[in-house]
Structure 1
Amino acid sequence: MKNILLPTDFSENAWNAARYALELFKNESCTFFVLNTYTPHIAHSRFMATNVASGMLEDAARSQSEEGLANFISRIHIQYKNPKHKFTAISSFSMLVDEVREVVDDYEIDLVIAGTKGASGLEEVFMGSNAVRIIKAVKKCPVLAVPQNFKFQTPDEIAFATDFNRFYTESELKPLLDMALTFNAVIRIVHVQHTISALTELQKFNLSMLRKYLKEVEHYIHTVSELNSISKTLEVFSDELDIHLLAMLHYQHSYMENITRELVVKRVAFHTQIPLLVIPELGMSGSSKNKKEHGAFISE
């Protein structure tokens, strides 16, 4: 059984990500952890003791969060009657990214699926600030970012963007391989080069190991010239080959790190129209079965 984390602020953007998740795993047994965090604004009044005001505001925020989660899960039950799926609601007085990180640890989460809002000014040049913070913070499982207007398509064409400069571990490639095997997908390994040149010996070795890991699935190598930026190149590549899912590893000097940096420096937006699977360095990571109290309540 897979454990999937769905952070939500009850927006249509978050609902779209949940719908994608339910379609993606409709044939698999899953527990979906639906998370909402709240941090009520504490207003100080000379007519009310601070601790009383704080308590009242926190109680109101908690009730609103729990009611929102109940309605969110009820909406799922009405539209998606799947006996393979169970739901756990988590309401937490916490900052979103901090709580996501804790829930990933405590509930052995296999995948975080978050909605992305797209660019809305220079401060949100990459998919919305919350999605980026989650991607940067989560180190123990992949994060799947779903664009706000993306309608579910079976991911039978998957692009894996990499430069072959780093050795891949089996645990890091497993999410990609599992996705390809589940949907009988073709993996298109895309290597973006500023200037087309031969691979180094290290790159050749890493590529050969990558192909061994992917021997069970149909895959192809695509070497493409950079178009202004890595992000723009991947957008064009994905559009031209009708890619349904873009995957990248996230580590120091990776494409993912470079894209995040170039978007800030060049003030451009990564207008990805397809889901983005970001896989952190998983080689040495472990997980814990320790379950903490997060204000969770079960809804099945």
Structure 2
Amino acid sequence: MEKHLLIPTNFSKHSWNSLIFAMNMYKKHACTFYLINAYDSQNFLSEAIALGKKDDEETEKHISEKGLDRIMKGLSFRKENPKHQFQTISHEGDLVEGVQDSVDKYGIDLIVLGSKGDSAGINSGHENSISRITEKVEQCPVLVIPEEYELKSDKKLEIVFPSNFRIPFKQKELLPLVELSESLDASVRVLYINSDLKPLTSEQEEIKAELAGHLSEIPFGFHTLTQTSPSTGVHLFIESRECDFLALYQRKQGFFSRLFQHSRTNELNFDPRLPVLILKELK
């Protein structure tokens, strides 16, 4: 089945890297990549809009279209997969609205974002375009790729997936995680943070068993950390195992939001330095 991926671009290095990463990730799949530039946004996508000195008669729309054309020309030299198709979207208006409109119009399966610097920039306490997209765009998972991240090729890859086993998952909500595991030949490490040292309830045990069924077609394992907060526990697990990806399931109330709640001044400022796949609660 053909995949539809949306790649926001501001014509910067990190947005180009996210496109190349997505192409490599889905190198065995038939895909249409939609490249979107929002040229009237005051945030992420407009920061690098000026590709050179702007002529007096040159409109922002023309600059946006010219930048997208330049990307298409660059892609014309890449012949890795004849099953990869590309379309461009020059959107006048708000970034998040443009992304949501494209998700709805084109049936997007995954949004791939490039984040400037060495972290994913998903901390919801920081007002930036990455967090705005991950929080406000509905019904579509998001993969955030830090600009300076390099995928290791000399080790077995691992994806950390924290869960508190309190709300059941739908199979389709986990499909992007399964596909990421299959594409990268990576194992999924389901991490439970047992902060209060209480045993799992019968309901939690049922949800855990159901999750095991959803992940049965890929390599996975369950892990538990105790006496730590969610953000510190996830960070320590990633550091100790040198994990390669982090997958988070986003609900407005749940484990995802707890990662960014800091009750103490010395609490870790959670901002992962590895790619983050954000799974969405689907209707």
Structure-1-length-normalised TM-score: 0.79
**Structure number with higher helix proportion:** 1
Q: Which residue in 1 is equivalent to 2:5? A: 4
Between the aligned residues of both structures, percent identity stands at 29
Q: Is this contact kept in 1: 2:178–2:215, CA < 8 A?
A: yes
**Alignment correspondent of 2:20:** 19
Change (3 A) 1:198 1:118: farther
Other structure's SS at 2:198 match: coil
Structure 1 residue 244 displacement after superposition = 1.6
Give yes or no for the alignment of 1:141 onto 2:140.
yes
Which amino acid in 2 is paired with 1:73? M
Secondary structure class of the residue paired with 2:87? strand
Secondary structure of the residue that 2:20 maps to in structure 1? helix
Q: Aligned in 2, Cα 1:40/1:114: closer, same or farther, shift over 3 Å?
A: closer
- Please say if residues 119 and 127 of structure 1, whose CA atoms lie closer than 8 Å, have aligned partners that are also in contact: no
Change (3 A) 1:97 1:273: same
Q: Aligned partner of 1:74: which letter?
A: K
Equivalent AA in structure 2 for residue 20 of structure 1: F
User: Is contact 1:6-1:112 (8 Å) kept?
Assistant: yes
- Kindly provide the amino acid, as one letter, of the partner of residue 100 in structure 1: V
- Larger CA Rg, structure 1 vs 2: 1
**Following the alignment from structure 1 to structure 2, what is the Cα–Cα distance between the partners of residues 40 and 96?**
6
Any idea what the Cα deviations from partners look like across 1:96-148, whole Å, max 9, x if unmatched?
0111011000000000000123599x997768711111111122111001112
- Residue 82 (structure 1) shift: 2.7
Would the aligned equivalents of 2:122 and 2:131 in 1 still touch at CA under 8 Å?
Answer: no
CA offsets 1:30-68 (integer angstroms, 9 cap, x no match)? 100000001189xxxxxxxxxxxxxx9896100100011
Q: CA deviation at 1:20?
A: 1.2
Alpha carbons of 1:152 and 1:242: their partners in 2 closer, same or farther (altered >3 Å)? Answer: same
How far apart are 1:83 and its partner, in Å? 1.3
Which segments of 5 or more consecutive residues in structure 2 lack a partner in the other structure?
A: 43-54
Equivalent residue, structure 2, for 1:39:
40
Quick one: distance in 2 between partners of 1:81 and 1:181?
A: 19
Q: Deviations over 1:139-172 (max 9, x none)?
A: 2111001112112447831111111010111111
What letter is aligned with 2:257? E
Residue 245 of structure 1 aligns with an amino acid whose one-letter code is F
Which whole-Å CA distance do the structure 2 matches of 1:30 and 1:126 have between them? Answer: 34
Aligned residues: 267
Matching residue of 2:52 = none
- 2:123 and 2:219 map into 1 onto residues whose CA distance is 36
Query: Residue 250 of structure 1 aligns with which residue?
Result: 250
Structure 1 pair 57/144, CA: closer, same or farther in 2 (3 Å)? farther
Which structure has more RCO (C-alpha within 8 Å, separation ≥ 6)?
Answer: 1
Q: CA deviation at 1:72?
A: 1.9
Aligned AA for 1:165?
A: R
Please give the alpha-carbon distance, in whole angstroms, between the structure 1 residues aligned to 2:60 and 2:126: 27
Mean CA deviation greater in 156-165 or 236-245: 236-245
Amino acid at match of 2:194: Q
The residue identity in structure 1 corresponding to 2:259 is I
Aligned positions of 1:277-292 closer than 5 A: 277-282=277-282, 284=283
Structure 2 residue aligned with 1:172: 173
Distance in 1 (alpha carbons) for counterparts of 2:122 and 2:244 = 27
Distance in 1 separating the partners of 2:14 and 2:227: 31
